[in-house]
Amino acid sequence: MASNPLVSRSRLGTRASALARWQADWVAARLRPMGVEVVLVPITTTGDRRTEEPIGGIGGRGVFTKELQRALLEGRIDLAVHSLKDLPTEEVPGLCLAAVPERGSVGDVFVSRNHASFGELPPQAVVGTGSLRRRAQLLHVRPDLVFQDVRGNVDTRLRKLDEGRCDALILAQAGLERLGLADRITERFPLETLLPAIGQGALGLETRLDDAFTRSAVEPLGDAATHAAVLAERSMLTALEGGCLTPIAALARVEKGVLTLQGRVVDPSGRVQIDAADSSGPEEAIRIGQRVAAALLAQGAADLIRAAREG
C-alpha cells in the first residue's frame, strides 16, 4: 500500500517506552522542518507486554519489532523507528531499511550505588543484565560473579537496582545518555572487555518498499558511514546464523575511508572467547562481515553458538 505523494504526512509507529519515544521524537523533530507532518502512533510489542519473562521464553528474535513491521505492511503506519540491535537481520518482503542515522555511543556501562567500578565488585556480587552477550563476556574476566536476568525498560531496571535487588547493572551507554540519565553511569567498559551488540547505539528507519514519499523523506537523516558499519555487523551476524539469544558481539567503524570490523563469539560460561577482524572500503561492508564470520567459524564459533542455543 503506497502513500499518497501529495500528502506530506507520515504516521510514525513507536513503542511506549521512554527510550522508544525519545527515538520517535528525535526522528519527528528532524522531519517536521522538511515539511513532513508527523503523527506518532503507539504500538505495544510482545516484548513490552511480557516484561518479566526472559527474551528467550517469549520468542527471542523480533519481540520488539514484529508488531511494528506488521503495522507497516498493513498500512497502519508509514514509518517505524527501531533500535537496530533489536531488529532481526532477516529481510521482510515489502519492507526496507530506508535510513540509518549517525550512531550514538556504542558501548556498555556499569551502574552501581555502592561499588566504584566493575573490578571492585566482591566475589558473588549479583549483576543484573538480560543479555547473554554481556554476561558471557564479563564472566570471561570475572567468573566469580553471579549474573541475574533483569528485564524491563531503563527506569524499571534502575528501580530494581535502587531497591537492592542486585548490586550492579550493565546497560547500554546510548540509552542512558538519550534519557538524560548519564549521571547514573558509574564506569564505562573498555571495548576490549565488552564488545557491543550488533547495531548497538544505532537507529534504523524502516518503511514500505513501495512508499516512495516516506523513503525519500527519511533518506536525508541517514549517515553513510554508520549505515556501512551496521551493514558489516549485520552481515557477520547473518553468516553466523546468530541472533539476540547468542553471545555474539561486533563493532564496525569507518575511519579515514576504511571500514574495520571486529567480531567476537563467547561460550555462555565465559570460558572460551574468540575474536576476528577484517577491514576494507565501506563498499565492501557485506563481504567484510562474511569474512569475519568465516574467521570466527574457523576458530570454532559454531560450537559456541550451538552451546548457547542448547543452554
Percent share of the chain, pLDDT over 90: 82
With a cut of 80, say whether residue 234 has pLDDT above it. yes
* Catalytic entry in 78, 86, 167, 278: 86
pLDDT band at 153 (very low <50, low <70, confident <90, very high): confident
With a cut of 80, say whether residue 297 has pLDDT above it. yes
With a cut of 90, say whether residue 53 has pLDDT above it. no
pLDDT tens profile 213-226: 999 999 999 999 99
pLDDT tens profile 73-132: 999 999 999 999 989 999 899 999 999 999 999 999 999 999 999 999 999 999 999 899
Domains and CATH numbers, the chain: 9-101+202-222 (3.40.190.10), 108-188 (3.40.190.10), 233-310 (3.30.160.40)
Catalytic: 162? no
pTM: 0.90
- pLDDT at position 246 is 84
- pLDDT at position 5 is 45
pLDDT band at 307 (very low <50, low <70, confident <90, very high): confident
User: How many Cβ atoms are within 10 Å of 74's Cβ, its own excluded?
Assistant: 9
